[in-house]
């Protein structure tokens, strides 16, 4: 299903795309960075012609050494693979848990093709899996913002603090553009090439936001369906949309938010992503701690499900939580060097937020 759906009747497109997204493990990280900036997708790393792993923008942000020296094989993450027989729901789960934009399709250990996030969204939209949901039900409010007068260093700090990959850029409170981790990585990779575009020479982290912001922003309304949102993401080749009321940004909806709705009702009420590889053994304990804390949260709200997304910066665990309730989404984040402590912290933060929200509603605020 997967390979046929992605490239049905278009073998030339598959061959062309495979040339761009497959990298040998002995090639340098600089080549991977170039490919990721060009395609805005992850790259597949092979060794001796067999699947070895994946590299995406998150992998790049963890590297401090010279990318012209570091080999791709040293950075690649051994992400899960698809086969031509992988069911649609399982495919959604794998994209959700890895947070990658591209997954390899293999036969044995040989890479036969790739499936991109946009192909999956198109399939979900075409097969009408998203008809009964609207954007306002799943979007994150209000979205992390930065004024266009800010700097790249300030943008990096906001992304780390809020565990996000994109920022809404505003000017006088209205939507001005969007800034992604990809945009920032490109500038930090080749800062000198950007300098001539600016009025004065500045270091990479001092680059003003207005020099980097993408002015053409893909948007959606809070009352639009997720089918419309998925189609807009595919059309604009983006993984998120800014939700606007008029020209005022009111939130963000991502492709992963859409995936949640597809399989959440078939899964336990705790959905986890990013916890694989050496951290996979912690999965049962994380679920157990989260489920115990959900019991407390249900005193304030009816909990539909909870998503926990883990990212690791060396030994630091960065955790982002989304709690879906009957009133919408509540977001929280935490970080710690001990995974279970990060889970307890983020659940305590959700407890505070749900209690505060309940009190506000009782007082009609």
What is the 8-class DSSP label of residue 327? T
What is the 8-class DSSP label of residue 317? E
The CA distance from 227 to 119, in Å, is 14
pTM score over 0.75 = no
Q: What are phi and psi of 79, to 5 degrees?
A: -80, 160
What is the 8-class DSSP label of residue 197? G
Q: What are phi and psi of 106, to 5 degrees?
A: -120, 160
Could you tell me which of 323, 301, 259, 340 has the C-alpha nearest to residue 332? 323
The CA distance from 239 to 100, in Å, is 11
**What tokens appear for 174 in the block?**
């209205």
Per-residue pLDDT of the chain (365 residues; tens, 9 = 90+): 444 444 444 444 444 444 447 888 998 888 777 667 666 667 888 898 888 988 876 677 666 678 888 888 888 888 888 988 898 888 988 888 887 778 888 888 788 888 888 889 999 888 888 888 899 888 887 788 898 888 888 888 888 777 677 889 988 888 888 888 777 766 665 544 444 444 444 455 677 888 778 888 899 999 999 999 999 999 988 888 999 988 888 889 988 888 888 877 665 688 888 887 778 889 899 999 998 888 888 777 778 888 898 988 778 998 989 888 877 788 888 999 999 999 999 999 998 888 777 676 665 55
Domains of the chain, with CATH numbers?
2-126 (3.10.580.10), 140-254 (3.10.580.10), 268-362 (3.30.160.100)
**What tokens appear for 313 in the block?**
């910066």
């Amino acid at each position: 299903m997967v390979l046929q759906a992605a490239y049905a009747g278009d073998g030339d497109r598959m061959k062309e795309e495979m040339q761009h997204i497959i990298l040998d493990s002995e090639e340098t990280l600089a080549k991977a960075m170039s490919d990721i900036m060009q395609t805005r997708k992850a790259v597949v790393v092979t060794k001796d012609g067999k699947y070895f792993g994946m590299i995406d923008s998150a992998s790049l942000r963890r590297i401090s050494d010279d990318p012209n020296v570091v080999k791709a094989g040293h950075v690649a993450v051994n992400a899960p693979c698809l086969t031509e027989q992988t069911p649609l729901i399982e495919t959604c789960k794998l994209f959700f848990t890895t947070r990658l934009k591209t997954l390899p399709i293999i036969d044995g250990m040989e890479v036969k093709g790739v499936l991109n996030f946009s192909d999956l969204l198109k399939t979900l939209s075409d097969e009408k899996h998203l008809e009964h949901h609207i954007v306002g039900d799943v979007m994150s409010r209000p979205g992390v913002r930065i004024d266009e007068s800010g700097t790249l260093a300030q943008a990096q700090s906001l992304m780390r603090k809020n565990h996000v990959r994109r920022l809404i850029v505003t000017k006088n409170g209205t939507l001005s553009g969007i800034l992604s981790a990809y945009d920032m990585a490109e500038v930090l990779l080749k800062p000198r090439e950007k300098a001539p575009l600016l009025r004065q020479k500045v270091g990479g982290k001092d680059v003003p936001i207005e020099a980097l912001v993408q002015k053409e922003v893909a948007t959606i309304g809070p009352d639009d369906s997720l089918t419309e949102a998925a189609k807009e993401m595919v059309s604009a080749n983006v993984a998120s949309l800014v939700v606007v009321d008029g020209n005022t940004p009111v939130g963000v909806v991502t492709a992963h938010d859409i995936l949640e709705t597809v399989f959440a009702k078939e899964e336990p009420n705790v959905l986890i992503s990013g916890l694989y590889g050496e951290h996979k053994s912690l999965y049962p304990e994380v679920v157990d701690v989260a489920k115990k804390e959900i019991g407390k949260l249900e005193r304030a709200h009816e909990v539909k499900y909870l998503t926990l997304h883990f990212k690791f910066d060396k030994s630091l665990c960065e955790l982002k939580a989304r709690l879906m309730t009957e009133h919408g989404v509540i977001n929280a984040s935490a970080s710690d060097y001990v995974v279970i402590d990060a889970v307890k912290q983020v659940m305590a933060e959700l407890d505070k937020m749900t209690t505060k929200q309940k009190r506000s509603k009782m007082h009609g605020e």
